[in-house]
Structure 1
Amino acid sequence: MLKSNLRLLQVSKQLVNSSKRFYASGSGSGMVKYNWEDPFDFRSQLSEEEQIVSDAVRSYCQEKLLPRVHDNFRNETHDKRIFEEMGELGLLGSTINGYGCAGTNYVTYGLTAHEVEAVDSGYRSGMSVQSSLVMHPINAFGSEDQKQRYLPGLAKGKLVGAFGLTEPNHGSDPGSMETTAKKSGKIYTLNGSKTWITNSPIADVFVVWAKNQDENGAIRGFILEKDMKGLSAPKINGKFSLRASPTGMILMDDVQVPEENMLPNVKGLKGPFSCLNNARFGIAWGALGAARSCLHTARQYTIDRKQFGVPLASNQLIQYKLADAHSEIAIGLQACLRVGRLKDEGRWAPEMVSVIKRNSAQKALNIARQCRDMLGGNGVSDEYNVIRHMVNLEAVNTYEGTHDVHSLILGRAITGIPSFVAKGQ
């Protein structure tokens, strides 16, 4: 037995040595030089159209958005013209066919979110809300009149939209919402409040979800317009995250909404959850864009910065952190691409989106923290962008389903046992 094992060991060593000589000679089939910026040749997995759109969006983001972001973030301001610029490029409601929309696939939408968030999560948030949370429900659940009335203006960025689901007392539990709708004749009267609403201070159109008292509290969607009496959208002040994106509340005090403004083709939480799944898909791509920006900054900084006479990047610990970030981004993008393809083929499940949203948001936040640390004291200056991405990603990891809520969604799928409510309740 010992002789047999020794013989196997000798054969194994010979095979290893032969393999080394084979690849060292360049005879290995399919060997390529490793590209750290595209480790899995991601670009080759995209169609020509997807590549063209991705390149165009990257150029726009780097040339037009990046120069604005410091001022917007520092002063908590937002240039409303950005929506019109995005509209001109066909980035708003891009997966919708007709009504002035581009009609792209979901992978292209993901690529767009990735490039926009590489500049700032706030800019991507505004785009996501407009596309996934406002235009999507109007297109999916609205009447033809509603589509004709609102979608073209939203697609061009002439109208800005906001989505009202989260309430002061109900974040991860939308089924307990307190906002109500009561019908009288051909008018619905809405009362209630929504909070942490992206775009609300500058919005022209609001898609608001409320419990219809005439249908035993069934949840319905309504389209509100900014000039309706009793409707206000005050800004939330004091944010330390997503400062380049306007955030506020939606306050409704006997707001009179015509019955033709109710979304006719959906009832219950299916409506808002459909919107959230679309938004979460874009977030998964976008968060990795922010992480990519942090990685590139940390890499260049540690190469250029010298301590004790050598580049910081020559430190093993720095290379370890860079390798971790590099690997997580590459793997995460492959997962996003796969879910995008399945979504385009109509073979996706909401839990797939939970996997990538949960993974991307948490990993991106961790990457941003590590990259900030690699920059030392300079890491807290927004001149290097990493700290801005880091505080933005704190919000990204929370909204559209927290990391823990997505864990519960996946836990239910794995075990068949829901655990959203503690035992005994």
Structure 2
Amino acid sequence: MTSTLTTTALTDAPLAPLLAADFYEFQSRLTDTEQRALTSIRAFLDTEVRPFADDHWERAESPRHLVPRIAELGLYGNAFPETWQFENSAVFRGWVAMEISRADPSTATFIGVHSGLAMTAIWVGGSDEQKAEWLPTLAAGELVAAFGLTEPDHGSDTAKGLETTAERRGDEWVLNGAKRWIGNGAFADLVVIWARDVADDQVKGFLVRTPAIGFTGTKIERKQSLRAVENADIVLENVVVPESDRLQKIDGFRDLAVVLRLTRGDVAWQALGVAVGAYEASVEYAKNRVQFGKPIASFQLVQQKLADSLADITASIAMCMRVSQLQDEGAQRDHHSAMAKAFVTKRMREVVARSREICGGNGIQLDHGVARYFADAEAVYTFEGTYDMNSLIVGRAITGIPAFV
């Protein structure tokens, strides 16, 4: 499938206008080609994602029909030389993640799992043969991928507490265990499963092709956040995986941490998009909601809330931009991504709370544009490392002393 965002196709495209929430005009730091690409991406989001996001959220159904359209835009695997359609920066990729989350955090999460976590795991940990087999197929949207790390009893402590086991038997591995909260896990064609080798106690990665004997993925019901992401409980009972489907360059949790470092910064961008989406909805509401004979946007306290939110968004953009610049420079470290994820998700929570407050009682109803962001923010705040854990990663960098337990 050929992307519509090839360099040739973008030559005559107009530059995307700046967002009102981009108060310091950070978008102008993107190249002209990247800014032109945003024009097509925003058009897709405004016509095919945003108008239907509330409906998918309310029905708790992933918009799977968007998979080929997202692939057509070249949004899967645009971080990897093997699959990108035009040369782009980590800053641009972060900005795209923000734009998608601004329209629908659930769609951003689906892409983040498929293209971010799963494809990055293959790119970081796969052999040349594995990358050649899987990256183009996943980039084309021919298959959907998931990333199985979190377990029912282990989230923050997976580095030491991972219970899913892998036992080598000749040229095959046998996996046993359980995973929880696995995005796309209810319908994925390929699941990257992380398990502890019983022989050397090291974490290794495995490409599990579904359906597989002994593999069960059950959709988690009754969620109240990111409802359009079909998270799953996964059970592995003597699932056999050939050695050729073990990620050949993963030899321990330290290698897995490289994947998380690269994707945790993307989650900061996603959190920024949640904040921007809620902020924009609250501005629109404030301009149109009339009380005491005039729009509430004319009230001093409402303007203060909007100004505080815009300041939080502006600071968050600056931090996200710098982390992505460090990634482009090859200088990004775990503590850089951790600080961004912690700081931006905390600011996001405050922005969505103010936005809900501005909308009053209407802020809890989907029809007024804020409620979905308000609910989705809670999941984004937690996944890819809680606020506490990311703060401790930064604290270790400050003091040189780990304080995780």
Residue 376 of structure 1 is matched in structure 2 by 360
Kept in 1: contact 2:225–2:375 (CA 8 A): yes
Offset of residue 151 of structure 1: 1.2
Q: What is the distance in 2 between the residues matched to 1:140 and 1:378?
A: 45
2:53 matches 1:69: yes
Q: Which residue of 1 aligns with 2:126?
A: 142
In structure 2, stretches of 5+ residues that fail to align are 1-18
The answer for the alignment partner of 2:330 in structure 1 is 346
Offset at residue 56 of structure 1 (A): 2.0
TM-score by length of 2: 0.92
Question: What is the aligned partner in structure 1 of residue 370 from structure 2?
Answer: 386
Which among 114, 131, 136 is matched to residue 130 of structure 1? 114
Q: Does 1:44 align with 2:28?
A: yes
Within the candidate set 257, 276, 285, 2:260 is matched to 276
Letter in 1 for 2:266: G
Q: Could you give the per-residue CA deviations for residues 171-217 of structure 1, whole angstroms, max 9, x where no partner exists?
A: 10012111001111111000000100000011000111111112x21
Contact kept in structure 1, 2:220 and 2:232, CA below 8 Å: yes
Amino acid at match of 1:217: D
Secondary structure at 2:236 match in 1: strand
2:70 equivalent to 1:98: no
Matching residue within 159, 183, 187 for 2:172: 187
Contact 2:21/2:280, CA 8 A, preserved across alignment: no
In structure 1, the gaps of 5 or more residues are: 1-34
Structure 2 residue 311 is the aligned partner of structure 1 residue 335: no
Name the SS for the 1:288 alignment partner: helix
1:255 is displaced (CA, Å) by: 0.3
What is residue 8 of structure 1 aligned with on the other side?
none
The residue correspondences of 1:196-235 to structure 2 (distance < 5 A) are 196-214=181-199, 216-235=200-219
TM-superposed deviation, 1:102 = 5.0
Report 1:238-257 matches (<5 A): 238-257=222-241
What SS does the corresponding residue of 2:382 show, helix, strand or coil? coil
8 Å Cα contact 2:356-2:370 kept in structure 1: yes
Q: Distance in 2 between matches of 1:303 and 1:101?
A: 41
Letter of the 1:202 counterpart: F
Per-residue deviation, 1:99: 4.3
Residue 310 in 1 paired to residue 294 in 2?
A: yes
- CA distances 1:373-404 after superposition (whole Å, capped 9, x unpaired): 11111111101221110110100000100111
Q: 1:257 to 1:383 in 2, by over 3 A?
A: same
CA contact (8 A) 1:91 1:102 kept: no
**Identity, % of aligned pairs?**
36
Shift of 1:103: 5.1
Distance 2:292 2:63 in 1: 44
CA distance in structure 1 between the partners assigned to 2:260 and 2:337 by the alignment: 10
Aligned twin of 1:116: 100
In 2, the alpha carbon distance for the partners of 1:240 and 1:371 equals 18
In structure 2, give the amino acid aligned to 1:108.
F
Picking from 243, 263, 266, the partner of 1:259 is 243
Give the direction of change, closer, same or farther, for the CA distance of 1:194–1:80 in structure 2 (3 Å limit): same
Whole-angstrom distance in 2 between the partners of 1:335 and 1:362: 13
Query: Does the 8 Å contact 1:96/1:103 carry over to 2?
Result: no
Q: Equivalent residue for 1:31? A: none
Which amino acid is the alignment partner of residue 343 of structure 2? N
Letter in 2 for 1:198: G
- After TM superposition, the score normalised by the length of structure 1 is 0.88
- What RMSD over aligned residues (CA atoms) do the two structures have, in Å? 1.6
**2:391 alignment partner AA:** S
* C-alpha separation in 2, matches of 1:167 and 1:276: 16
Q: Which residue of 2 aligns with 1:155?
A: 139
TM superposition shift of 1:310: 2.1
Measured at CA, do residues 45 and 234 of structure 1 come closer, stay the same or move farther in structure 2, by a change above 3 Å? same
Equivalent pair of 1:226/1:232 in contact (CA under 8 Å): no
1:244 CA displacement = 1.1
Q: CA deviation at 1:45?
A: 1.5
Q: In the TM superposition, what whole-angstrom CA distance separates every residue of 1:272-326 from its partner, at most 9, and x where no partner exists?
A: 2222222211111121112112111111211221211122112111111000001
Question: How many pairs are equivalent?
Answer: 387
The 1-side partners of 2:322 and 2:271 are apart by 16
Equivalent residue, structure 2, for 1:9: none
Matched letter for residue 105 of structure 2: S
Please give the alpha-carbon distance, in whole angstroms, between the structure 2 residues aligned to 1:72 and 1:300. Answer: 23
Report the Cα distance in structure 1 between the residues aligned to 2:88 and 2:333, rounded to whole angstroms. Answer: 20
CA apart distance, 1:101:
5.7
- Counterpart AA for 1:194: K
Distance 2:20 2:242 in 1: 56
Query: Which position in structure 2 is the counterpart of 1:14?
Result: none
SS at match of 1:61: helix
Residue in structure 2 matching 1:107, options 86, 91, 95:
91
Is 1:101–1:155's contact at 8 Å kept on the other side of the alignment? no
Q: How does 1:165-184 map to 2 (within 5 A)?
A: 165-174=149-158, 175-184=160-169
The one-letter amino acid paired with 2:168 is K
